[in-house]
Amino acid sequence: MQCAETTRRGDTLMNDITRPENPDSRCGFVAIVGRPNVGKSTLLNHILGQKLSITSRKPQTTRHKVLGIKTVGLVQAVYVDTPGMHVEEPRALNRYLNKAATSALIDVDVVVFVVDQLAWTTADEMVLEKLSKLTCPVILAVNKVDRIEKRENLLPHLDMLSRKREFAEIIPMSALKETNLKPLEETVGRFLPESVHFYPDDQITDRSERFLASEMVREKITRQLGAELPYSVAVEIEEFKRDGKTLHISALILVEREGQKKIMIGDKGDRLRSIGQDARADMERMFDSKVMLRLWVKVKRGWADSDRALKSLGMNDL
């Protein structure tokens, strides 16, 4: 996997590699949006064919805009995975998530609006309202259709959705089962503008390995402790260095209260070890090297309510 940092030129993310002109090549930015927990990150991971965005059953797992780059022949689609848009903004973290999702809509070429099987909620309506002023094509992806028990209910639901706005396409699909992903990608490709490719053809993300490592730790925390801990958990990478064939990573886990720290560590450190073992296994697959992972837990009160604390944790990429 190739990761890279990028620089901003004007309003468009570009790298510094000059690519040859090709009048038939297409490239553009594709925002994947929707309310929390509709499968946006799962969709991106399965389009790319590998894990890039972390996933869990807990809403608002995604906190950052993550670029996933897929190049097939002359077509390069730069997908932007976004945090789920939600109505309430009681804390600085919630406000950041909404801003990150909304800012992803600026200057994109295509939007993939993901909804969940037969559901349509006030949060879906809120997302639709945010898309109302866009002039770019909006593709509606109706996800998790494999879970619909009464299939005869799907067509009336799709008809109802078609009256919500003029969508470029409505595609029933299952990101997890990879049902109709190819038609979705082909539809995206048709709407991308003629352009040279922004990134090398073998690059799949703009994110660094340090960022991906912190997200892997946070995913394991969310999956193992999602029912016990609130969203007030953050992960900061303090060390990331290679020594021969071994990658040494030290991660600091931030919680807001002493009670949360005890839950994170577990009985005689069992929970922290389990989180570390699962995260290390994913890291070794992604980074293709042996990983020595060390985890610490620290109480940092009120970080999720502080804009300054969020910026110190890298949540300023808007």
Question: What's the confidence (pLDDT) of residue 107?
Answer: 80
Max mean pLDDT among 86-95, 120-129, 166-175 falls in 166-175
Within a domain: 268: yes
Residue 300 maps to which CATH number? 3.30.300.20
Within a domain: 318: no
Least confident of 6-15, 35-44, 123-132, 187-196: 6-15
Decide which of 179 and 207 is more confident: 179
- The answer to whether the pTM exceeds 0.85 is no
Question: What's the confidence (pLDDT) of residue 7?
Answer: 33
Decide which of 155 and 304 is more confident: 155
**CA nearest 310: which of 251, 247, 231?**
231
Domain boundary among 145, 170, 203: 203
Using pLDDT thresholds of 50, 70 and 90, give the confidence band for residue 315. Answer: low
Torsion of CA 141, 146, 150, 155, to 10 degrees: 30
Within a domain: 65: yes
Domain residues for the domain of 264 are: 208-312
Least confident of 59-63, 141-145, 163-167: 59-63
Within a domain: 267: yes
Provide the 3-class DSSP secondary structure of residue 277.
helix
Kindly state the average pLDDT of the residues 274-297.
Answer: 95
Shared-domain flag, residues 63 and 177: yes
Least confident of 10-19, 126-135, 159-168: 10-19
- How confident is the model over 251-277, as pLDDT tens digits? 999 988 899 999 999 999 999 999 999
Shared-domain flag, residues 166 and 212: no
Shared-domain flag, residues 184 and 264: no
Question: What's the confidence (pLDDT) of residue 303?
Answer: 59
Shared-domain flag, residues 170 and 265: no
Provide the 3-class DSSP secondary structure of residue 131.
coil
Question: What's the confidence (pLDDT) of residue 160?
Answer: 97
Least confident of 62-71, 76-85, 95-104: 95-104
Question: What's the confidence (pLDDT) of residue 24?
Answer: 79
Question: What's the confidence (pLDDT) of residue 247?
Answer: 96
Give dist(CA 75, CA 186) in Å, integer.
Answer: 10
Using pLDDT thresholds of 50, 70 and 90, give the confidence band for residue 86. Answer: very low
Question: What's the confidence (pLDDT) of residue 314?
Answer: 54
Decide which of 97 and 187 is more confident: 187
Shared-domain flag, residues 295 and 158: no
CB 57 within 8 A of CB 65: no
Shared-domain flag, residues 218 and 199: no
Q: Report CA-CA distances (Å) from 298 to 25, 38, 61, 84, 93.
A: 49, 32, 21, 27, 19
Using pLDDT thresholds of 50, 70 and 90, give the confidence band for residue 280. Answer: very high
Of all residues in the chain, the percent with pLDDT exceeding 90 is: 56
Within a domain: 317: no
Number of domains in the chain: 2
Shared-domain flag, residues 68 and 157: yes
**At residue 108, what is the residue type?**
V
Shared-domain flag, residues 73 and 114: yes
Shared-domain flag, residues 179 and 43: yes
Shared-domain flag, residues 118 and 241: no
Question: What's the confidence (pLDDT) of residue 300?
Answer: 85
Decide which of 250 and 132 is more confident: 250
Question: What's the confidence (pLDDT) of residue 15?
Answer: 40
Distance of CA 128 to the CA centre of its chain: 19
Within a domain: 298: yes
Kindly state the average pLDDT of the residues 218-230.
Answer: 81
Domain boundary among 178, 203, 228: 203
Is residue 230 over pLDDT 70?
Answer: no
Residue 17 maps to which CATH number? 3.40.50.300
Shared-domain flag, residues 192 and 254: no
**At residue 82, what is the residue type?**
T
The mean of the pLDDT values for the chain is 82
Least confident of 125-139, 173-187, 189-203, 290-304: 290-304
DSSP one-letter string for 42-110: HHHHHHHTS--S---SSTT---S-EEEEEEETTEEEEEEE-PPP-S---SHHHHHHHHHHHHTTTT-SE
Within a domain: 31: yes
Shared-domain flag, residues 169 and 37: yes
Contacts of 49 (CB under 8 A, 6+ apart): none
Within a domain: 242: yes
Domain boundary among 203, 222, 253: 203
Using pLDDT thresholds of 50, 70 and 90, give the confidence band for residue 189. Answer: very high
Question: What's the confidence (pLDDT) of residue 228?
Answer: 75
